Structures are given as structure tokens and as C-alpha cells.
Structure 1
Amino acid sequence: MDGPMPSKSLISSVIYGFLLLSLCNSLKDNAVDGKRAYFHTLKINSLPSPDVCKESSKALNEGSSSLKLVHKFGPCNPHRTSTAPASSFTEILRRDKLRVDSIIQARRSMTLTNSAEHVKSSVPFYSLPVPPNDYIVNVEIGTPKKEVPLIFDTGSDLIWTQCKPCKVCYPKVPVFDPTKSTSFKGLPCSSELCQLYGQGCSSSKCTYKTAYVDNSSSTGIYATETISFNHLRYDFKNILIGCSDQVSGDSDGQSGIMGLNRSPLSFSSQTANIYNNLFSYCIPSNPESTGHLTFGGKVSNDVKFSPISKTSPSSDYDIKMTGISVGGRRLLIDASAFKIASTIDSGTVLTRLPPKAYSTLRSLFREMMKGFPLSHPDIFLDTCYDFSNYSTVAIPSVSVFFEAGVEIDIDVSGIMFQYPGSKVYCLAFAELDDEVSIFGNFQQKTYTVVFDGVKERIGFAPGGCN
């Protein structure tokens, strides 16, 4: 063909012009090398978002019970003690890496030592994944009811909160006083539950200690207590909880943890007969909005399910990842890269992929973003760009595929991670030096994620928060 070749900047301008003129802000079609590709429009802004809470418009379905899911540093958290400083960004990533490392260590430990005695001894005292640091729910404990904010975590078992008299407790957040609750009953050392889960005795009461690999911990006694949701008439009686008089580690806006894994101690397991062992959640697209944590209810036809792996640790939620696409192109990744099921985790932030899968994803993403120079902030994320000269940028879509035909087209808010206070954005995926993959909460945003314990499956549906 005669004539000069068009410049990259001209090509980029044409692409952006097309994207900005489109009435649809979701998927954008464009031709790349004769193949169909998809792009999202990413709005670039270094200014903090307005500190105003936006309530989800998602209504509860019949037969369900729901809690608002809010970001601990966001304006929707009534117990917020501070807003997140920009310096917390590196701390979030550091803790996220610790959590991932601890999940891998736990899986290896369960694989190497799978005896019944190990499983029993690991329940009351073992190195759990680092507590998540993002989203909380407010529940009511005791009679009369006392509201406490709890981190929700599909990687933890016990539901626990700090209690008076407190030797060491988190400051500026509610502390439950069991002496003022008529429904509180400390678990006797002679009880069957204490024989199963207790670590020791103190004043004839069954004790526990939950330790995390970042050296944080919760120590106290087991008890049965009434748990309530503030909009329900129904109370959950005789729920086994941890009443902690000594906690250590970071806290800002939460009093404890609501464990939701598959172990018998978790809140979801203890209420399984009420809600048919079904719960779901939706993580909002930004800290200024609310999501939900819902127990029971009808499953929408929009939800697509993948079976829970039969070879995974008994307390984990693992399903088999089968592939990834970028900009509409399915990555050529050998099936052996996904031979171990992927953990669906509410507490891990960034999705981790095995080396072969991540390098292939990174290469194609960089190819589609080659009009922008790479930036190199002092963090472990390796595909970052400085968008200081742009108000909007077209970024390729990313989809993740799971067994049984489940496809998750990741929301635009879950593709790139913004370095706070700047216009530097990084691909929100990371390499894991292992064959395990972890599907993090950043990529789960705006989806309804359904955990069906009866049929042993996990489902996904878009538009879960609104």
C-alpha cells in the first residue's frame, strides 16, 4: 500500500475517539489484527473520591437474610476511625502477600499431613491466613443486642469478637461485655464441643487461641451466644463464638472476624440448617459504595456454577480455573498450568496466577497497551503505567474461565490497581511461584458470588451489587 504508515498516536486517537463517542460504557469493540477485541474505558483521576456513602439498590430476594458489606476505610462504615492514608497502599500489598504465602503454606501442610489427628489439632490453634483488611459487616451480639463490626472472611473459621474485661483490645471500636448479656454462656471444659475444639481451660471455661502468620492473634474463651441482624426478627441462638480478651495485630474499624469457611466452626456452617447451607456476597466497585453478604434465598438463573474441587482442603472453597482471555483473545496456556484448583478467597486482594499463566497474561496485556510507556513504582506489581496526561484510557478487558463453562468478565474497576494519590495504574494480577492460583476480591468486584454447600459448587453472576 502506498503512502506513509499512520503513527501510533494517530491510531490511539482513533481508538479513543471511538470509545468516547460510544453511548455504552461497558464493552467496546475494536479490530486488532483482524480479530475481535474488547476494551473498557478507564477514567483517570488522582483526586480522592467524595466522602459520601452510596447505598446499593440491590433488594433482598425471598427467604434471604442480608448484611451490608462496607469498606473499612469508606464512608459507609459507621465505625470508621480513620481514612486510609496513601502510605497504607504498600502495607495493603505487604499484608496481601503474607496472606497468599500463608494460604500456600496451609495447603502444603494439609497435603503432607492429612491425618485425622492433624485435622483435629489444627482447629483450635494453628497459623491461619493473615486476616483480611478490607470489608466488614455489622452484626448484633447478645441480649440486649450490641452491634459489633466484623471482617468477613471465607478463609477463616471461627466468629469472634473482643470482649470485656479486655487485657489488650483494639481501640476506638466496640467491645462486647458478656456480663450484660442474658444469653451469653461460657463453654464448660467438660462439654463435647470443648473436647473437639478447645485448647485448654481457664476458670472452668474452654479456651481458644487463633494465631495468624503475621503474628496477630485472638485469645479468649469459647461461648454460645445469640447473633442477630439488625433488620430481622429472627435471632440465631446458641452460636459458638470466640470471646477474646486479648488481641494483637492491626485494626482500624473492626472488633473481630466473621469466619465463613467450610469448617464446622464457621457462621455459615452453624446456620446451614436455616439457610440450606447457602450464602453469597457482592463486593462493591469502590469504597464509597455498599455491597452485601446474604444468607439463603433463591438462586437467580443468571448464576453460573462451577463444582468445588474434590481434592482441595476440606475447609477451602476451590474450583478449577480453565483459562483467561485478554481483549477478547483466549490465552494459549497449557492445561497443566491449572492442574491445581483455584481458591476463591474474599480476603486476598489481587488474583495470583501460576508462572506460565501470569507471564502469558502479562505479555498480551502489555502488547495491547504498547502505546503507553511502562512505569516502575517501588512495588512488586510489574505492569504499571503513568496516565498523567490522560483523562480516560482504553484498557483491554480481562475474562477468567472456570470449569463447567463459567466466564467472569472482570469489571473495569478490577483490572488495574491505582497507586493512591497518583495517576499510576498497575495490572491487578501477580505471579505466584507455585502451581496454585487464588482468585482475589479485587477481581470479584460487582459480581454476586454464591457458595452452595449442599450441591458443593460456587457460582457467579454480574451486576450483584446494583
Structure 2
Amino acid sequence: MAWGACALLLLLLVLGAGGGGGVHCLEVTRSRRALQRRHHLRSRAESGATILELRHHGGGGGGGSGKSGGRSREEELGGLFSSDAARVSRRVLGGGRGGGRVPVTSGARLRTLNYVATVGLGGGEATVIVDTASELTWVQCAPCASCHDQQGPLFDPASSPSYAVLPCNSSSCDALQVATGSAAGACGGGEQPSCSYTLSYRDGSYSQGVLAHDKLSLAGEVIDGFVFGCGTSNQGPFGGTSGLMGLGRSQLSLISQTMDQFGGVFSYCLPLKESESSGSLVLGDDTSVYRNSTPIVYTTMVSDPVQGPFYFVNLTGITIGGQEVESSAGKVIVDSGTIITSLVPSVYNAVKAEFLSQFAEYPQAPGFSILDTCFNLTGFREVQIPSLKFVFEGNVEVEVDSSGVLYFVCLALASLKSEYETSIIGNYQQKNLRVIFDTLGSQIGFAQETYPTVDHPVHIDNKKHNTNL
């Protein structure tokens, strides 16, 4: 389908979540004044799409003291990784056409390692986590009975004349019940009961409220009657964000609701967190706005009616330093909202063993949170990191950027608890890749898309990444 020159781009600016240290130790020179600049939005036309640039607004997320809310940086990261592990096995328990560009930035300043977008909702704005595994967009609403600590004002339905709560007899309420797998509990009392929702996650986080609709603004592209969750009771590791942007496979996701505008196609590229460059989230199939340096290769999406909102593909192999370690890893989820890639134990153990074999010259160190393969790199000025490559169905090979192999001094992969769980490819291993989700074509594409950085370059050969410390 020729949605072509009508794609929607959203810029993602990523700020490093951790400072220096570890295997990356890449020196980034930024002045305090530069980090404290407010957002400067600038629009421009590019191949028919409207592009809005965003600069980072410094502030929260640990600041210069390494403390946040009385916790050390290590404790905060450990908590985020623990929640990430719980998210991997989460289950919901109950109930290009057009043009435009939306404010999107790193979640670092909002105490989350995920990527966030700022969109217009009603007469205000909401900064939400970009999440391909969520079936519903939801934001915190006033008055809020119990809300997580949000930076910025809550969405106030009373201030938006276009806001309306959806009744129980609406098709959207029916779709909600299908998406959550619950046929009861969505309706309240009264002559015209509202449609309520409850989204619960394995780590204990949740969002509860009512289903509503309002105008959604994506940098000038207005979506009338956009259905979302107006949450009045929300708790979890959402940092200082307003909520979640649901990009999953459900009737209520942003992708499904904008099918007429963007044809069910979207893509993103997540830049290095150590860089000051920006990535992009594109709604629509206009490939001319991509900056990929390699051809796009596609693998087939795998359907799973039991776990509908997720994007599945078949992982057929993994190589470490050019050495194949697993020839049939099975079904995996590609997810922008999970940080670290998690693999079933048999696959993870095979990858870990091969990595340790090729990384044997570096002494091991105690594990950190869900990362159990760590190293003592004190005194090393240069570290040779074995390359990591995923092979998907159709012999689609995707090499992980060198910055996605180690998280500081630990192998940036984790093990699931059971062989019966589903592996997930997290956003830390998707950096500097253009990932394309074609929901109508039932395929996911990958291409290298490297952004220029302010750091010194990483020199790469065929089998090893040489990272200067």
C-alpha cells in the first residue's frame, strides 16, 4: 500500500541512563548548561512528513548526586531491572497517510530507562512510554485517587470540552473486554454506566480508570475521538511519565485506531544513550525518511491468539563472535518497552557459555540484579567484546550494536525462570537499528541505522567489537 509520503515521524532523543564506568566508559563532554536546556521544538518538512525536533530537558532521574528519592543509582537501576524481569512474563489480568511529528525523548529524566513521547491530548500534553507490548494507551487523570509520582500536571478531563467517557454499550468497551480477556467488571452503575478498565502486571503495577475518548494531537496531526484509558488509580515503575502509549496488536492500540491515516505500519530507531543525537518513531511506510545504512530485511510475524497484543517472530539462531551457539531458539517477542533481552534458560546458558569462552581473558565479578554475567575490567584500557547476532526466520541476520552487548561491565542478557516462558528482545539490544512493524503485511523488518555521536568511535572487525576505555 502506498501510504508513502504521508508518514508520521516522532523524534526520540536519548540521554545516557548511567554515567561512565564499565566496558563502555565512552567519554561524553556535556556542559551542565547544555543538559539543563529546555525543549526546543523545531518543525520541518521532509519527504512529505512533518518533523519535530526535540532537545533534552535536564533534571530528574538521579541528577549529579547519584541519588533519587533516597536511593543510590545502583539501587534504582536494580529496581528497574527487577521490574523489567517481571514485565517479561506479564499478563493482562482483566479488563502512511497524514503527516505530523510528536515530541519524543529519553525517559532518563523521568526515572525510566524506556523511551517516551510527548503528545497532545485534549487541551494539554502527556508524556508517555512508547510501548509495543501494550494494547491500550492510558494516562493519569485528575482527580486521582492513587497515582504514581508524575512530573508535570495530570490530564484534567474537566478542562477538555472534547473529552467524553465511553458507555458500556460502545464497541470500544467490547474491544476492551476482548483485549483484556475479561467479559465482566467493565461496567459501573447508573442509567448510562461508564466502561471501566483494569490493567494489571506481574510485578504488581497496574492502571485502573474509565475508557474515554478525546482529541489526540501528533505534532499537528489530529486524531478525533481517540480512545484511551483515563486512569485514576495507577502504580508501578512508570517513572515520572503520564502513562503508556499502546502500540500493540489490539483494536484499541494507537496503530489500530490510526489505520486509515498510517496503514498499520510503524517503525522506530533507538540511538545510543551515550550520544546526543536523536532517533525517530515513524508512523506510516514512507521509507524515504529512514536513514538506514543497510537494506531492510523482513521476517514473518507469528500469530499467537493467547497473547494477542505482542509482536512475535521466530528466532532460529544466535551467534557470538561469529560462532553459532543456538540453532533453534523458538518464538520471541520484539518489544520497545522491555529494557534487557531475556531468553529461556537453555538458550541463555548456551549463549553465556560461549561468551565466557571468548571473554575468558577478563576476570569475572559478582552479578548485578538480573544480570548474572559480569566482569572486573579495572585496569583495562581496551576491551574486545564478542559480537552478538540474532538470526530470525528466513535467514534474517540482525547484529546487535556493540553498545548493546554489555551493560556497563555485565553481559546485557538475562535468563528467564522457565523454558515455558517466552523470550523477549528488549530495547537495549535494538539500538541503532531501524525496526519496522508491518501489521497488515504480518512482517517485521530490520536495518542498520547508525546515528552520529559525540563520543570517540568504536572500531569493529568481523567478529569482535574493540571498545576503547
Q: Report the TM-score when normalising by structure 2.
A: 0.73
Q: Is the 8 A contact 2:80 2:112 kept in 1?
A: no
Partner of 2:312: 318
Q: How does 1:311-460 map to 2 (within 5 A)?
A: 311=304, 313-331=307-325, 333-335=326-328, 338=329, 340-418=330-408, 425-432=409-416, 433-434=418-419, 436-460=422-446
Residues 1:139 and 2:119 are matched in the alignment: yes
**Distance of 2:165 and 2:359 partners within structure 1:** 59
**Distance of 1:148 and 1:56 partners within structure 2:** 16
**Distance of 1:357 and 1:68 partners within structure 2:** 40
Q: What's the offset of the Cα at 1:68?
A: 7.0
Q: What's the offset of the Cα at 1:66?
A: 6.3
Q: What's the offset of the Cα at 1:354?
A: 2.8
SS at 1:86 equivalent? helix
**Distance of 2:255 and 2:451 partners within structure 1:** 21
Unaligned runs of 5+ in 1: 1-40, 70-74, 107-121, 126-130, 419-424
Matching residue's letter, 1:314: G
**Distance of 1:329 and 1:367 partners within structure 2:** 11
Matching residue's letter, 1:429: L
Q: Is the 8 A contact 2:23 2:406 kept in 1?
A: no
Q: What's the offset of the Cα at 1:308?
A: 0.2
Q: Which moved more, 1:428-437 or 1:87-96?
A: 428-437
Give the alignment partner of residue 76 of structure 1, picking from 51, 56, 74.
Answer: 56
Q: How does 1:9-158 map to 2 (within 5 A)?
A: 43-44=24-25, 52=34, 62-64=47-49, 76-77=56-57, 80=60, 82-83=62-63, 85-102=73-90, 106=91, 125=95, 134-142=114-122, 145-158=123-136
Matching residue's letter, 2:280: H
Partner of 1:116: none
Q: Is the 8 A contact 2:367 2:410 kept in 1?
A: no
Unaligned runs of 5+ in 2: 1-21, 96-110, 178-185, 289-293, 453-469
Q: What's the offset of the Cα at 1:465?
A: 4.8
Q: Is the 8 A contact 2:316 2:327 kept in 1?
A: no
Residues 1:224 and 2:213 are matched in the alignment: yes
**Distance of 2:206 and 2:24 partners within structure 1:** 40
- Which structure is larger by alpha-carbon Rg, 1 or 2? 1
Partner of 2:152: 173
Q: What's the offset of the Cα at 1:47?
A: 9.6
Q: Which moved more, 1:277-286 or 1:249-258?
A: 249-258
SS at 1:140 equivalent? strand
Give the alignment partner of residue 253 of structure 1, picking from 240, 260, 268.
Answer: 240
**Distance of 2:383 and 2:223 partners within structure 1:** 49
SS at 1:94 equivalent? helix
**Distance of 1:65 and 1:262 partners within structure 2:** 26
Q: Report the TM-score when normalising by structure 1.
A: 0.74
Cα distance, 1:323–1:250 mapped onto 2, change above 3 Å: closer
Query: Identity of counterpart residues, as a percentage?
Result: 30
* Aligned residue pair count: 384
Q: What's the offset of the Cα at 1:150?
A: 0.4
Partner of 1:284: 271
Cα distance, 1:190–1:454 mapped onto 2, change above 3 Å: closer
Matching residue's letter, 2:169: S
Give me the CA root mean square deviation.
3.2
Q: What's the offset of the Cα at 1:379?
A: 3.4
Q: What's the offset of the Cα at 1:61?
A: 5.5
Q: What's the offset of the Cα at 1:43?
A: 4.0
**Distance of 1:295 and 1:284 partners within structure 2:** 18
**Distance of 2:228 and 2:297 partners within structure 1:** 33
Q: What's the offset of the Cα at 1:450?
A: 0.7
SS at 1:341 equivalent? strand
**Distance of 1:295 and 1:238 partners within structure 2:** 18
Matching residue's letter, 1:169: C
**Distance of 2:41 and 2:359 partners within structure 1:** 33
Q: Is the 8 A contact 2:298 2:446 kept in 1?
A: yes
Q: Is the 8 A contact 2:335 2:427 kept in 1?
A: yes
Residues 1:273 and 2:260 are matched in the alignment: yes
Q: Which moved more, 1:199-208 or 1:442-451?
A: 199-208
Cα distance, 1:314–1:185 mapped onto 2, change above 3 Å: same
SS at 1:194 equivalent? helix
- What does the per-residue CA deviation read over 1:60-105, in whole Å, with 9 as the maximum and x for residues that have no partner? 8635566779xxxxx8257846546232121122111111232xxx
Cα distance, 1:154–1:326 mapped onto 2, change above 3 Å: same
Q: What's the offset of the Cα at 1:302?
A: 2.1
SS at 1:87 equivalent? helix
Q: Is the 8 A contact 1:66 1:295 kept in 2?
A: no
**Distance of 2:173 and 2:161 partners within structure 1:** 21
